[in-house]
């Protein structure tokens, strides 16, 4: 399966605004109570604001024109009270929606992160960590901003607009229609430009992801960059990503602000129309000054929210572009599913490859029609030239990938029928590049080990002694409590391999795969590892990938892996000859 998220580029426009909005609302559907209260608050706010111009017009006609200042003061007091309540409702809904936004952000980040955790290795091979980080951090925050700042304002503005429109039409429908006519232009303009605005925002978010990927790559490889004096090269690459981001941000900024001046102009045209029509009607004796003041205020109440809607609409487009990028991850499913247990076949072998073919997603076939068997308690070696397919074969044994064709059987049962916990318990894999988590040696060797997780220090020491790991542990300054920093240098590469080795051995797997696990370890320690491997429980099958052939002297069987073929080498001598021949050929 192809997990490359960038292949979705260009799909953004396929979701209509309406269905995207419905999807967005589903995200906060569990917040019904808060939403209802915030909605009431914002509608109350709009109503209070809408009543203002009407009362002002009334005060002018009834009291100002007749110089009844007591009435003016009373209405001024009423208006002040109304505006204070409006202020409170606005504050209240902002507070409520702020909470909704933060909770949505929290849930979304959890959902995206958990989804990423469920995805198979192929997903991580095909996507850059920086871009994924940007999706989890940055894109989710766009939704938070939309929910906390824009959604209710959006609704409030629409309510104010609709209310102002009704007032405009009710007071005098002719001037009302003239006042509302420019809004049709706004509608058309918005509809035509929205897809372009969303596209610009999607492109911008993508460049943010690209820049984040660039930063991540150079930060995690800083030593190589310094050693090879490639700072300028990476600075240039970052510069390019930054320029791309700058250009797309300018484009998105322009797109997001394109509505504003147009909406403003339409509002001014409406004011002019109202003023001209109103003054004409006053001269005809059909309109009052108070009504004209109210009218002008309602025209403002109609167009001002529209202008704000332009900004809110742009925020909505940004949120939708972010949501698209998040949903792309959420929609992914791992193709390494656990299948219903098929009939177990009687198989003498612990593990069997039956006519297995494999190719990485979107790549050529790497393994061709492999059939092999691994028996319990035996030691196997995989040797062969670089890039021949050893790690790939081991990755299939550990089910990091599924074969593209053929079957792998573990204890006579399709390996896909084991759930992840059971499989990782049965198969231990010491990777070529061991990874340590920040913490202590103890935490790292117990990583994911349910059996010993609650053991006391003494109990653990006994287990380590029993597994013959004591001498290895002595290499670390503070034993089990030695501190380790992920990606840091406090522990050497060889020491990292030792920790990975202890981590795997303590799990007592049925099959233990060592992929170049001793490549960075001195000869004495390597002998020590050899002894530990010898003393593993009798049932353990070992699969050793090694370039140094002395490490596989004691293997029961040697497989030669080259150009996607796995053949039995027979003897070490034979394997060496094949290797030499292969090197000479290349």
Ligand X SMILES: Nc1ncnc2c1ncn2[C@@H]1O[C@H](COP(=O)(O)OP(=O)(O)OP(=O)(O)O)[C@@H](O)[C@H]1O
- Sign of the Cα pseudo-torsion (134, 136, 137, 142, in order): positive
The CA distance from 229 to 241, in Å, is 20
**Least CB distance to ligand X at residue 515 (A):** 7
Least CB distance from residue 115 to ligand X, whole Å? 21
- 268: CB partners within 8 A, 6+ apart: none
Rg (CA), the chain: 35
Q: Which residue carries 């059971």 as its tokens? A: 422
Task: Find the shortest distance in angstroms from Cβ 126 to ligand X.
Answer: 8
CA distances to 390, 426, 552, 567 from 578, in Å = 15, 32, 15, 11
Q: Which is nearer to ligand X, 213 or 293 (CB)?
A: 213
Q: What strand order describes the sheet that includes 541-545?
A: 427-430, 511-515, 541-545, 379-383, 557-562, 565-568
Helices (H), 7-68: 17-27, 32-59
Angle between helices 151-171 and 32-59 (to 10 degrees): 30
Residue 552 CA to residue 575 CA, distance in Å, equals 11
User: Nearest approach, Cβ of 416 to ligand X (angstroms)?
Assistant: 20
Closer Cβ to ligand X, 100 or 561, answer by number: 561
Which residue, 209 or 384, has its beta carbon nearer to ligand X?
384
For the CB of residue 156, give the shortest distance to ligand X in the complex, in Å: 51
User: Quick one: 348 or 363, whose CB is closer to ligand X?
Assistant: 363
218 vs 395, beta carbon nearer ligand X = 395
Q: Which is nearer to ligand X, 396 or 469 (CB)?
A: 396
Q: Residue written as tokens 């332009």?
A: 310
* CB of 470 vs ligand X, minimal distance in Å: 31
Residues in contact with ligand X by the rule CB under 6 A: 125, 360, 363, 366, 384, 386-392, 561
CB-wise, 297 or 558, nearer to ligand X?
Answer: 558
Q: Phi/psi at 380 (nearest 5 deg)?
A: -115, 150
259-283 helix and 231-257 helix, angle to the nearest 10 degrees: 20
Q: Which is nearer to ligand X, 387 or 487 (CB)?
A: 387
Distance (Å) of CA 388 to CA 60, 67, 434, 520, 553: 90, 99, 21, 21, 21
- Contact (CB, 8 A) for 480 and 441: yes
CB nearer to ligand X: pick between 366 and 521:
366
Give the three-state DSSP class for 379. Answer: strand
CB of 547 to ligand X, least distance (A): 6
For residue 431, the minimal CB distance to ligand X (Å) is: 11
Between 12 and 515, CB nearer to ligand X: 515
Helices (H), ranges, 437-571: 441-445, 457-466, 470-474, 493-506, 523-534
Closest separation between CB of residue 426 and ligand X, Å? 22
Least separation, in Å, of the C-beta of 315 and ligand X?
39
In this structure, how many other beta carbons lie within 10 angstroms of the beta carbon of residue 566?
A: 23
């Amino acid at each position: 399966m192809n997990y490359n998220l960038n292949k979705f580029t260009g799909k953004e426009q396929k979701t209509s605004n309406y269905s995207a909005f419905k999807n967005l609302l589903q995200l906060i559907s569990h917040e019904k109570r808060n939403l209802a209260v915030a909605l009431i608050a914002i509608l109350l706010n709009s109503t209070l604001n809408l009543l203002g111009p009407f009362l002002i017009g009334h005060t002018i006609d009834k009291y100002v024109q007749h110089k009844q200042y007591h009435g003016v003061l009373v209405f001024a007091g009423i208006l002040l009270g109304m505006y204070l309540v409006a202020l409170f409702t606005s504050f209240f809904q902002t507070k409520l929606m702020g909470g909704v936004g933060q909770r949505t952000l929290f849930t979304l980040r959890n959902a995206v992160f958990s989804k990423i955790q469920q995805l198979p290795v192929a997903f991580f091979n095909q996507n850059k960590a920086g871009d994924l980080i940007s999706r989890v951090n940055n894109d989710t925050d766009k939704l938070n901003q939309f929910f906390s700042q824009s959604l209710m304002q959006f609704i409030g503005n629409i309510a104010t607009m609709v209310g102002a429109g009704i007032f405009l039409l009710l007071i005098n429908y002719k001037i009302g229609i003239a006042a509302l006519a420019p809004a049709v232009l706004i509608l058309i303009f918005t509809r035509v430009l929205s897809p372009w605005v969303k596209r610009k925002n999607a492109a911008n978010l993508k460049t943010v992801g690209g820049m984040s990927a660039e930063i991540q790559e150079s930060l995690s490889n800083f030593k190589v960059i310094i050693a090879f004096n490639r700072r300028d090269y990476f600075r240039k690459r970052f510069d390019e990503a930054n320029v791309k981001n700058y250009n797309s941000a300018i484009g998105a900024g322009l797109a997001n602000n394109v509505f504003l001046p147009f909406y403003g102009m339409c509002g001014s045209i409406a004011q002019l129309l109202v003023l001209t029509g109103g003054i004409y009607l006053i001269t005809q004796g059909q309109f009052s000054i108070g009504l004209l003041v109210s009218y002008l205020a309602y025209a403002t109440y109609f167009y001002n929210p529209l202008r704000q809607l332009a900004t809110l609409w742009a925020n909505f487009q940004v949120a939708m572009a972010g949501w698209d990028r998040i949903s792309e991850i959420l929609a992914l499913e791992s193709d390494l599913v656990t299948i219903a247990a098929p009939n177990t076949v009687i198989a003498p072998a612990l593990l069997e490859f039956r006519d297995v073919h494999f190719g990485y997603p979107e790549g050529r076939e790497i393994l061709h029609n492999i059939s092999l068997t691994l028996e319990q308690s035996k030691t196997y070696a995989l040797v062969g030239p670089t890039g021949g397919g050893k790690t790939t074969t081991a990755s299939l044994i550990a089910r990091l990938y599924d074969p593209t064709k053929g079957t792998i059987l573990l204890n006579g049962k399709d390996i896909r029928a084991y759930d992840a916990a059971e499989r990782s318990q049965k198969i231990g894999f010491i990777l070529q590049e061991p990874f340590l988590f920040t913490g202590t040696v103890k935490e790292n060797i117990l990583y994911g080990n349910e059996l010993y997780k609650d053991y006391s220090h003494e109990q653990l020491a006994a287990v380590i002694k029993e597994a013959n790991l004591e001498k290895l542990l002595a290499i670390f300054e503070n034993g089990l409590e030695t501190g380790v920093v992920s990606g840091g240098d406090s522990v050497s590469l060889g020491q990292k391999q030792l920790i990975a080795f202890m981590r795997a051995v303590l799990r007592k797997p049925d099959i233990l795969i060592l992929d170049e696990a001793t490549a960075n370890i001195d000869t004495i320690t390597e002998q020590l590892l050899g002894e530990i491997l010898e003393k593993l429980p009798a049932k353990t099958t070992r699969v050793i990938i090694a370039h140094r052939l002395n490490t596989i002297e004691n293997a029961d069987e040697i497989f030669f892996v080259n150009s996607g073929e796995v053949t039995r080498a027979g003897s070490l001598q034979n394997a060496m000859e094949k290797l030499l021949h292969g090197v000479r050929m290349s």
